[in-house]
A = this chain, B = another copy of it.
Amino acid sequence: VVEDGQALVDELVSLLDLESIEKDIFRGRQSEGGNHRGDVFGGLVAAQALMAAGRTVEPDRSPHSLHAYFIRRGDPSVPIVFTVDRIRDGRSFTTRRVVAIQHGQGIFALEASFQLAQPGIDSQTPMPVTAPPESFTEFEATYVDSPQGDFVRRLPFEMRQVPAIDPSAPPGSGYQWLKAKGRLPDDPLVHACALTFATDLVPARAVLDAFASGRTQESFRTASLDHAVWFHRPFRADEWLLVDAESTTASGARGLGTARMYAADGRQIATLAQEMMIRVV
């Protein structure tokens, strides 16, 4: 399993190694088969778009936030071209916009902001207390026979679901541990992109757990509408990260999921938000 895991992570790193077509134009190949529905996996598009942005930014600046919209369904059978607009190069902050293009149309648009490391107030509320990841079953085990089993097995991330201790906790809230299945190179931009890849799975899951549990897979259709990540502190995506996710509302065929992420040493490293379409068929 360790060897397979490292191969999946190496494949993610290879997918993030975009081909340079021209200044500010990149091309990224897609993973074979796409996601569990045979679509382009949104997390990969977002990760590649962040990489395209980062390739145009001075290496002393790290991404601290991204905001993205999924605009059209992607085609996993052809590569995606990423065009970067250098919105601003400021003294402390650098802003980029990236459009992901297939068949002549934008399928995804992302804006990201990068910052030169700066000192300042460093303070946070504590990480929730939970048992270590070793105590829990691998997420894969619970999906092994489901229609998503193959997609989950091919993911370069492993997840361990923490069972809810408080039985009165709302169904969408809960903790999980998450990390890459193998070692990533040290470049912090790769870790930011890898986390972006993985986080396309996180709030979505909270939304479905909160509002679609008990419904069959066939009774509703879902799609990611947007994706926002704030990166608070340095982290490694190949070490365990605690996800504290929740979803408090669904209405009008949409549900919002949010999550806070922590390194195992307790530092809050990211906050996520994603709105999902949930259409009852």
Which residues of A come within 8 Å of B, CB atoms?
64-65, 67-69, 71-72, 87-88, 90, 92-93, 95, 97, 106, 109, 111, 113, 115, 117-125, 170, 210-212, 225-226, 228, 230, 232-233, 248-256, 258, 260, 268, 271, 273, 275, 278-280
Contacts and interface: CB of A to CB of B under 8 A. Distances in A.
B113 A226 contact: yes
B248 A260 contact: yes
A124 B252 contact: no
Q: From DSSP, what is the main secondary structure of chain A's interface residues?
A: strand
A225 B109 CA distance: 19
Nearest to A117: B252
Nearest to A228: B228
A56 B273 CA distance: 27
A120 B271 contact: no
Contact of A120 (B95, B260, B278): B278
Given A65-B275, A122-B251, A123-B211, 6 more contacts: A71-B95, A121-B212, A121-B250, A123-B210, A125-B248, A230-B273
B121 A211 contact: yes
A25 B61 CA distance: 34
Contacts of A170: 125
A268 to B, nearest CB: 5
B225 A248 contact: no
Contact of A88 (B71, B90, B118, B275): B71
A87 B115 contact: no
Contact of A118 (B97, B120, B253): B253
A111 B64 contact: no
Given A109-B97, A225-B113, A258-B271, A250 B280 contact: no
